[in-house]
Amino acid sequence: MADSTGRALSVDSASPELVSAVTDWFARTLDVPEQARREWRESGVALLPLGERFDAIRMPDALVQAAVNSTLPDVIAWHLVHILSGPVVYDQRTLGGCYYALVRPLGRRGAWRFQDIAPRLGAHTHLGVPRLTRTAPPGTYWVVLPRFEGDLCEPSAVERLVIAGSAVLSGTDQ
């Protein structure tokens, strides 16, 4: 959820109906949606399966920071809102910190060509998805909130970000 300047809106400023719809959309990834709601209540993060409703592309801190030329969380968030136009989760507890861009499932449409530097996680994988009110550290939190039920990043936008970050890290960005 973002305003016209690209700043993330708080869940408090969204309608209760929208928050409920988005929460339900994520909870329905489980056979028993109440399990996700219980995990959000108890720990703030629900472990959700990938591959049917959405996939996640795991991008290390260094890759994203190189792509946006900043290490400042607010600057990175601003860029991610504008570049990816979809939800992004941050987990500082894994692999030194990673951003997870949520994208539509790949299915049989082809391969993700950046698996070695920004792995696409799908079927047979789970992702810790924070409750919508977790928008700051510690732990796993939303950098960019979903704007509506089913909101996802475009894979081509994530691809451009990965290419930009890779070019900077490899020194080929002139």
5 within some domain: no
| Torsion angle (degrees, nearest 10) of CA 75, 153, 146, 5 | 40
Q: How far apart are CA 124 and CA 174, in angstroms?
A: 39
Q: What is the pLDDT of residue 108?
A: 61
What percent of the chain has a predicted confidence (pLDDT) above 90? 79
74 within some domain: yes
66 within some domain: yes
How is the beta sheet containing 120-121 ordered, strand by strand?
A: 120-121, 55-60, 98-103, 88-91, 140-144
Query: Of 31, 151, 172, which is closest to residue 89 (Cα–Cα)?
Result: 151
Q: What is the pLDDT of residue 94?
A: 66
Question: What is the span of the domain harbouring residue 30?
Answer: 11-170
Mean pLDDT of 57-63: 97
Mean pLDDT of 2-17: 57
Q: How many domains does the chain have?
A: 1
1 within some domain: no
pLDDT tier for residue 142 given thresholds of 50, 70 and 90: very high
Q: How far apart are CA 44 and CA 134, in angstroms?
A: 7
Tell me which of 22-31, 54-63, 77-86, 107-116 is least confident: 107-116
136 within some domain: yes
6 within some domain: no
pLDDT tier for residue 173 given thresholds of 50, 70 and 90: low
Check: CB of residue 113 under 8 Å from CB of residue 140.
Answer: no
Q: What is the pLDDT of residue 163?
A: 97
Dihedral sign, Cα of residue 13, residue 98, residue 164, residue 118: negative
This prediction has a pTM of 0.91
The tens digit of pLDDT for each residue in 76-111 reads 999 999 999 999 999 987 667 999 999 999 866 668
Q: HEC string of 36-47?
A: HHHHHHHHCEEE
